[in-house]
A and B are shown apart, each in its own frame.
Chain A
């Protein structure tokens, strides 16, 4: 049983490759919970906290914000580097669990675990985020849209880690909001909607809608969005798009709600979030 404390990405990857049941330890908010429940047998842990490259966030000249995998939810929630539509990620971060969980959990841990109800997931889709990965065969980049493959299944290869999340600049003047329906404060989402919206006067110039909690993976339906661009986001148009997005979801029955409930409510919530986003965008201009 080993516990390693690497300081570089390469050391971390090497440490992971050293054994069978060796896992990266980020905040531990999920990993320790499942270990306590006896759902994993760990043989080794690689503590990511000391890997400098995974910490902090930065903004490059083109407006891309790079969030280190070990960045705490609390920090991301208050990250002023995220502007315009990029705020959707900060908004999601601020609604994860409760303050104590946000003091522990990291974006890398959340994205790697890929709980279909996790708050970051739909917001990463809406923000067109890209994941920087590093593994035994080197580094690569995977768009968030291609990262989530199935129920808690991701594009991460064996012993590959998330190094950072890159959030490209959002359209100028766009808004980014994240809305979450949950049974109580601090719970995972029953249904959630992430929205990035740019208005040109009364006309929708750009819109991206990510949905969480309603499918084994987060959902985005580009066709539905394209149909809205150029419209004034009237109720009928939004309703058509919302239904199209809902049709793309395969919700499951779980303790939070039935699949039928999600199918019924999701289009209405999308409608509500788009209306709210539009309102904010119009007020802002």
Chain B
């Protein structure tokens, strides 16, 4: 597939003018063109959530998001969460809780949590389970990830919603 479609978008705050192929997903572009490899390819079918990115703040599937359709959008990847060496509160919470084993699902889980935090800072445990049911984890059994997300919600509220992506 030739990359013949121009698209201008913002990735992690930086403007990018790219050329993409018709059926390129944003995941293809992030990984193959920009070597932003934080978003993972677990299935390429929209099921696992390892490829999660935020488009205008909403958690979506990177593998199903057509790249050309992102014209003018703001895309946030896991690489865009930390500020320099300072981790985002959600990332901190995941480290603190030890919310990972192999870690392959972690970037997606972190972004899904960050999106939830900005959409619904007072989310209940039920809400967290709902939101994170979008993302598969084969290692952890989810419990520790849910705990981390709840901890992040608490911190996020304290620092006044700054945690939102």
Q: Chain A residues in contact with chain B, CB under 8 A?
A: 1-3, 5, 25, 27-29, 31-33, 35-37, 42-45, 47, 49, 98-101, 103-104, 185-186
Contact = CB atoms under 8 A, between A and B. Distances in A.
Contacts of B22: 1-3, 42-45
A30 to B, nearest CB: 8
Given A3-B5, A29-B46, A32-B25, A103 B133 contact: no
Interface residues of B, number: 31
A29 B59 contact: no
B contacts with A: majority SS: loop
Interface string B50-61: 001000001111
B63 A32 contact: yes
A35 B134 CA distance: 21
Contact of A49 (B1, B69, B135): B69
Contact of B131 (A29, A43, A99): A99
A263 B85 CA distance: 58
Interface of B: 1-2, 4-5, 21-23, 25, 44-47, 49, 52, 58-61, 63-66, 68-69, 71, 112, 130-131, 133-135
A32 B66 contact: yes
A137 B112 CA distance: 44
Nearest to B23: A35
A188 B59 CA distance: 20
A104 B65 contact: yes
A36 B44 contact: yes
B104 to A, nearest CB: 17
Contact of B59 (A35, A47, A103): A103
Contacts of B130: 99
A100 B25 contact: no
A2 B60 CA distance: 24
B141 to A, nearest CB: 14
